[in-house]
Structure 1
Amino acid sequence: MLGAKEIRQLAGTLEIKPTKKLGQNFVIDPNTINRIVAAAGLVPEDVVVEIGPGLGSLTLGLLEKTESVIAVEIDPKLAKQLPLTISLHAPGKTVELVIADALQIRELPKAPTALVANLPYNISVPVLLHFLATFPTLKKGLVMVQAEVAHRLAASPGTKDYGSPSLKMSWYGPARLAGNIGRNVFWPAPNVDSALVYFQHNVTRTANRKAVFAVIDAAFGQRRKTLRQSLSSWAGSPSAAEEILIRAGIDPKFRGEQLLIDQFISIAEAK
């Protein structure tokens, strides 16, 4: 496991300066790595995909639980170093390395069953949703994201945090908060709080995902308005929206924050 001293020395040797553009905030606390790995609920048979392994702290923790880890890294310098770090600190173990933009990934060396990552905060939700949509073999995962985002992903209907990320996450299965993370465990320390989200991907749906997500986006584009108004552009007019909502069994006076994912599916299918 890499500690603060090892990470700073390694970064210095590689002349790496963490950049905000790539969302690079390296975890320097081994106890936090242990928390993340434990909360992920991994079994030895899992094929784990890690997005943004950085200097390899979490990767080493994952290799203690499973033999199969796929690391997706966009930074060529970090990608080149990762196998060397693994051979030094986890001799006999290997990682399948993919050098690519996580938002553009369409295939991996193996079918992943779990996703565990300290996600780049500026693209955390798009990356998470992209992987869930692209790799249906994923059954579970644990991600560290900005605390505000974590609360949105795990929010329940009727709460202030409930919105588009909550509903799109629930399309795939349930999500819950799995703990808070302090700023001092990172280098450099971010100017926001962090939190863990555990999710399961255990729901198979036959509805058109893109069509349903379009309804969600429309409903929360004007969050404080009734669905009759917020869905008017999507439906063509307020009256058309009302007709669709009535066919779906939804009160046109409701707001998006009151509905579950199955109700949004009903709206999309009633159009």
Structure 2
Amino acid sequence: MTHSDRSDTARLLTPADVRRLAERLGIRPTKALGQNFVIDAGTVRRIVRASGVGPEDVVVEVGPGLGSLTLALLPHVRRVTAVEIDPKLAAALPGTVAELAPELADRLEVLAADAMRVAELPGPDPTALVANLPYNVAVPVVLHLLELLPSLRRGLVMVQSEVADRLAAKPGSRTYGTPSVKAAWYADVRRAGAIGRNVFWPAPNVDSGLVELLRRPAPPTRASRQEVFAVVDAAFAQRRKTLRAALASWAGSAPVAEAALRSAGVDPSARGEALDVTAFARIAEEGPAGAP
């Protein structure tokens, strides 16, 4: 069956469907779980198109909620593993899919779990991450899954617009920081569009953005990921300071930090926002014995 043959075999949720399902389950969207349900079918179709997934892909979806994006994904992919922290929503999702897309129900696996605490996923290795992520945990979830699942080749996530800017920022920009560098360890990251507020229920008081991630090898380095990330954390903990000063606690003293920076070919008077991930990796390689 071709991609186009399968494109319309799931009925997508309407705004009325979303409210009806929420009422049936006694669900009131909570800020604590970052719940803003997508009620616009055009938006979920757009996300699926932009994600580039196809018939062979195994998709991990975090925070499927009532199933708007899940139903849009299922016709196009081999399988969706949906990770949902809310037990009520997790329990209801298979029934929603069975009702609206019965011929696709066997492509769905639901895991009732906190994505940040998941150590492994059931079924075949996922190849893509496609999700409308809760704003308050978007960055740690993305980084955790990229580390946990080396089989992930690509991702498309919807996050708060400011978070999208930070994830996709390049060195030298005002929004460049820890999330930018850590995401760049795993993938090429770019903004992939803006999403308005009126496609959600309830409408959030912030705009959203799409972020595309394409996996690439980590920078070649003798340092471990943990060692590189320790340098990144130290550099941006006091981002207004020069690297010589910011890395003093990491290195043990400012003079030792300066020596490590010079050995790595980095100007000690530079700031963290000027460095790309490969420069941080070089600094970590030069780190003194016993540095965190």
2:62 to 51, 61, 65: 51
Q: How do 1:135-174 and structure 2 match up within 5 A? A: 135-174=149-188
1:130 to 144, 149, 157: 144
Counterpart-to-counterpart distance in 2, 1:202 and 1:234: 28
Once the two structures are overlaid, the 10-residue window that deviates more, 255-264 or 195-204, is 195-204
2:266 equivalent to 1:250: yes
Q: Secondary structure at the match of 2:211?
A: strand
Counterpart-to-counterpart distance in 2, 1:58 and 1:180: 17
1:191 to 193, 198, 205: 205
2:122 equivalent to 1:106: no
Counterpart-to-counterpart distance in 1, 2:111 and 2:226: 27
Post-superposition, which runs of at least 4 consecutive aligned residues in structure 1 deviate over 2 A? 204-207
The equivalent residue for 2:110 is: 97
1:83 to 84, 94, 104: 94
2:79 equivalent to 1:29: no
Counterpart-to-counterpart distance in 2, 1:246 and 1:50: 43
Q: Any stretches of 5+ residues in structure 1 without a counterpart?
A: none
Amino acid at match of 2:160: Q
Counterpart-to-counterpart distance in 2, 1:175 and 1:204: 13
Counterpart-to-counterpart distance in 2, 1:191 and 1:211: 37
Superposed displacement of residue 138, structure 1 = 0.4
Q: Secondary structure at the match of 1:148?
A: helix
Cα distance per residue 1:57-92 (max 9 Å; x no partner): 100011021021100011111111100111111112
Counterpart-to-counterpart distance in 1, 2:198 and 2:286: 50
What is the aligned-residue identity percentage?
60
Superposed displacement of residue 204, structure 1 = 3.9
Alignment root-mean-square deviation, CA:
0.9
Cα distance per residue 1:186-221 (max 9 Å; x no partner): 001111110000001121455401110110010001
Q: Secondary structure at the match of 2:96?
A: helix
The equivalent residue for 1:60 is: 71
Q: Secondary structure at the match of 1:111?
A: coil
Amino acid at match of 1:184: N
Amino acid at match of 1:58: L
Counterpart-to-counterpart distance in 1, 2:101 and 2:233: 45
The equivalent residue for 2:231 is: 215
The equivalent residue for 1:261 is: 277
Once the two structures are overlaid, the 10-residue window that deviates more, 84-93 or 197-206, is 197-206
The equivalent residue for 2:24 is: 13
The equivalent residue for 1:181 is: 195
TM-score (norm 2): 0.91
Counterpart-to-counterpart distance in 2, 1:168 and 1:46: 25
TM-score (norm 1): 0.98
The equivalent residue for 1:74 is: 85
Amino acid at match of 1:247: S
The equivalent residue for 2:245 is: 229
Q: Secondary structure at the match of 1:92?
A: helix
Q: Secondary structure at the match of 2:103?
A: coil
